[in-house]
Amino acid sequence: MTSTISPTRDRIAFPVTGMTCAACQGRVQRTLEQTPGVLDAAVNLMTGTATVTYDPATISPDALVGTVRDTGYGAELPVASRTAAEEQVAHDIAQEGEYQELRRKAVFTLGAALVSMILSMPLMTGHRHGAAADPFMQLVMRHVSPPLEAAAPWLYALSREVLVGALFALTLGVLLWSGRHFYTRAWAAFRHHSADMNTLIAVGTGAATLYSLVATFAPGWMLSHGIAPDVYYEAVIFIIGLILAGNALEARAKRQTSSAIRGLIALQPDTARVLRDGAELELPVSEVARGDIVVVRPGERVPVDGEIVFGSSAVDESMLTGESMPVAKHAGDRAIGGTVNRTGAFRVRATALGAESTLARIVTLMREAQGSRAPIQHLADRISAVFVPVVISIAIATFVLWYLLAADAPVGRGLAAAVAVLIIACPCAMGLAVPTAVMVATGRGAALGVLIKGGEALQRAGSLDTVVLDKTGTVTEGRPAVTDIVPARGIDPDRLLADAASLERASEHPLAEAILRAARERGLPLADPTGFEAVVGRGVRAMAGERALFAGNAAFMRDWGLDPASLADDEARLGSQGKTPVYVAANGALLGLIAIADPVRPSSRDAIARLRQLGLDVVLLTGDNRRTAEAVARALGIEHVTADVLPDGKVEEVRRLQQEGRAVAMVGDGVNDAPALAQADLGISVGGGSDIAVDAGDVTLVRPDLHGAARAIELSRRTMRTMRQNLFWAFAYNVIGIPVAAGILYPSFGILLSPILASAAMALSSVSVVTNSLRLRRARIA
Amino acid sequence: MPVDKILVLLGGLAAIAWINWYFFVAGRRRVAVAAGGALQEIEIIVAGGYDPSAIRLAHGRPARLVFDRRETSSCSEELVIPDLGIRRFLPANERTTVDVPATVERGTHEFTCGMGMLRGRLIVE
């Protein structure tokens, strides 16, 4: 795979074969390194690949491969691999083609079935041998035949030979064109010792056709052996037609299961307006290079990921994040390719292109998720692996039993029942039950701004009882800010803030950053500190010109002979609100208190209430002290708080909850909390603004909003319900359908299932499973 | 019992036995071994199933599976190797390369079509 690093540097990785030892590896690597134009080469013996950084102006990938071959080892350029989006598009084209073909075939075959039904009518009246033996057909005949005979008496005047011959010709057409693929595929599978739906259809309709052929060409032989020479041609045509119609409906429904991912791919514009040498050029997006300046006008889609370098606007990111309000963007902010620029014009410097872009990564992730399997499927997998041979065995047993036990027409009845068994059995519904639900759910999740990594994540998310929330950056903004300024008597608040900020300029503490930002926002003039000194756990001091400045806790003030008592009440009050109060003093006099806190995200409170509504135990996990943590928890309505947790301790806490027998979801940022996310039954990583960390966690929230966690869990629960419904239906359908088709109800109730009705039931069973999964697209998720 | 019934009964039992032998026993025997070298390579024909459907790979070396899909049947259009997190679209009448890393664990790793009907096994030893 070739990737462009800069105009003068490309990188390629290609397989090298024939290396057996470290010496071989060394030789290939040295040869590559000594080749003009190669900037760097790394050869890996274990994976058998060479990764080469080279100057494309000096040497081509072909020449690099040639260089390796000259050393006596094998090498070849990697097969151009498709991106996830390209694969999806190719898949869609194939699926659309299949649907169109199935539809054409279904329409033709059902038309042929109607004609065959009319042709069968005269055969069935007058007790002539060769009447259609399908019970459904006999029922239809009773109602249709009399008016048909009145309308078209000539039809009834035709001889049996003519009618049967015409039916035979129709069947031949259907078998050779529209139904042909069932037989060729069944044969291909048979040669590999495997069997699938095609096998059942081929054996079922093949047996009926063979019987009919003998009845057509050797009726006398059959009569002499006491077998009725009935023909089943119309049943064969009807069965194939109905199954084709079912397959066409199923293909259409299956296409809808990936509509979400198609929608995402469609977001990517084809062209970008790029500034080159002062001129705006409209280029294909694939030709945009990293560092290019791209112009985005109002109403256009942003073509690439990049940093805004000029201009400002409101950008609609709803298609990627689920956030309905347009997001204000200014110079320095990141814009995501595929989002819609609403109001202003701006320019972005391209930062991530092709497969690295956010959109491409989301599409890749979704395709991987949709291909994954949920553990709940294991049972269905085990059954479908043995299903077809078992059903064929049951069909044979059915025929034998009918033959042994039936009072009259044992061959005809046995055959009808065996064919009905083969036709009604539907392994497809079992195969589709879980994957279609996974596909629809992951697509729906993406539309909600929730990226679910696959079937297993869905299943675990569906069975949670406890949610652990990391406080900083998840529940809160993750960026401390000045919340209160309490000046001592007679002190100007701006003076207090300016002095504190001047002092903190030299500090790297997160609290210092908050104070500095507050001072800058107010445009306060700051002095340059000298002689800065920090006392860990207490405070900092420095000189600003002639002024000696101090900031820290009460103990630090007392260390320097200052009495903080006058502000002690304020300190206690702020502390109880979960804020961190900092005393500030200058030249031996207290200036006041500055309180700093990490503000709670506006959405957190509602989202936590929603999580509790879903019956989940919510635990707040934080490295903060207990007082701060409890204050935040109180404000949010959380009962369980685990405070004073060291970074490593988060994993321990998750493990402890798991040992209590809980199924735990951990919600945190993908970087610091990665081990805890991995330990939890479900790791939910919270994306930070436009920077979507799609790789961490089982579930990624595109937006830093806890509602996403509630939505992920709710969607997963619904999906699990859908999967269970699908599996139950698929199993129950076969468990009930097969014995009924075999004739289990005949001795007591005289009920026999027509093979034609069996084919209709089979066609509907898989369509109904897919349709049930599609309901997830419209499920109400708060 | 009349002769014809006895014949049908015996014939039916024999047919059932043969079907179960053919699909569950006979098909399991053939195991292909990937061609050696630093990169193990094997070609798998996809047409109504995988041929070969059982492939033995040596542990600790990367492997390249070349799926040659010689049909348009949608059943085989997708390849899934759950243990490796691989899902690939196999275009009809094209060869698609799937690389298996050297780090794959010992044991049997199943590969299937998108719906799990067609099956094959990678046996890493």
Q: What's the N-to-C CA distance of chain B in angstroms?
A: 55
- What does the pLDDT average to over A384-395? 91
Average model confidence (pLDDT) across chain A: 86
The confidence score (pLDDT) of residue A689 equals 47
Tokens of residue A598, six digits: 């990490």
Q: Which of A508-512, A603-607, A636-640 has the lowest mean pLDDT?
A: A508-512
**ipTM of the complex in this document:** 0.76
**Cis peptide bond prior to B2, omega within 30° of 0:** no
Helix (H, G, I), strand (E, B) or coil at A753: coil
Evaluated on CA atoms A505, A508, A512, A516, the torsion sign reads positive
Nearest Cα to A230, choosing from A302, A130, A162, A328? A130
- What does the pLDDT average to over A78-90? 71
The confidence score (pLDDT) of residue A78 equals 64
Cα R_g (chain A), whole angstroms: 37
Domain-embedded: residue B106:
yes
- Give the total number of structural domains in chain B: 1
pTM above 0.90, yes or no: no
B38–A400 CB contact, under 8 Å:
no
When CB atoms are compared, the residue of B9, B28, B60 closest to A404 is: B9
Domain-embedded: residue B21:
no
A186–B48 CB contact, under 8 Å:
yes
Domain-embedded: residue B10:
no
Instruction: Dump the DSSP string for A62-110.
Output: HHHHHHHHHTT-EE-PPP-PPPHHHHHHHHHHHHHHHHHHHHHHHHHHH
Domain-embedded: residue B16:
no
Contact of A553 with A583, CB cutoff 8 Å: yes
The confidence score (pLDDT) of residue A602 equals 86
When CB atoms are compared, the residue of B8, B23, B89 closest to A400 is: B8
The confidence score (pLDDT) of residue A46 equals 61
> Which residue reads 């298609």 in tokens?
A319
* A278 bridge partner residues: none
B49–A192 CB contact, under 8 Å:
yes
Per residue, the 3-state secondary structure of A489-542, as one string, reads CCCCHHHHHHHHHHHHCCCCCHHHHHHHHHHHHCCCCCCCCEEEEEECCCEEEE
Tokens of residue A311, six digits: 């201009």
Domain-embedded: residue B2:
no
Residue B77 belongs to domain spanning? 29-124
Residue B99's CATH number? 2.60.40.420
- What does the pLDDT average to over B74-78? 80
Best of A95, A180, A400 to mutate (most B CBs within 10 Å, chain B): A400
Domain-embedded: residue B4:
no
Chain A residues touching B72 at Cβ < 8 A: 94, 98
Chain B residues touching A82 at Cβ < 8 A: 89
Sheet holding A539-544, edge to edge: A481-487, A589-597, A580-586, A547-552, A539-544, A530-535
* A288 bridge partner residues: none
Domain-embedded: residue B22:
no
Nearest Cα to B99, choosing from A42, A29, A78? A78
Domain-embedded: residue B37:
yes
Chain B residues touching A403 at Cβ < 8 A: 5, 8
* pLDDT > 70? residue A662: yes
B71–A188 CB contact, under 8 Å:
yes
Chain A residues touching B7 at Cβ < 8 A: none
When CB atoms are compared, the residue of B38, B48, B85 closest to A17 is: B38
The pLDDT-based confidence of A128 (bands split at 50, 70, 90) is: very low
Helix (H, G, I), strand (E, B) or coil at A643: coil
CA distance, residue A414 to nearest chain B CA (Å): 11
d(CA A676, CA A668): 8
Instruction: Dump the DSSP string for A554-585.
Output: HHHHHHTT--GGGGHHHHHHHHHTT-EEEEEE
- Catalytic residue list contains A470: yes
Per residue, the 3-state secondary structure of A600-617, as one string, reads ECCCHHHHHHHHHHCCCE
d(CA A602, CA A599): 9
A389–B23 CB contact, under 8 Å:
yes
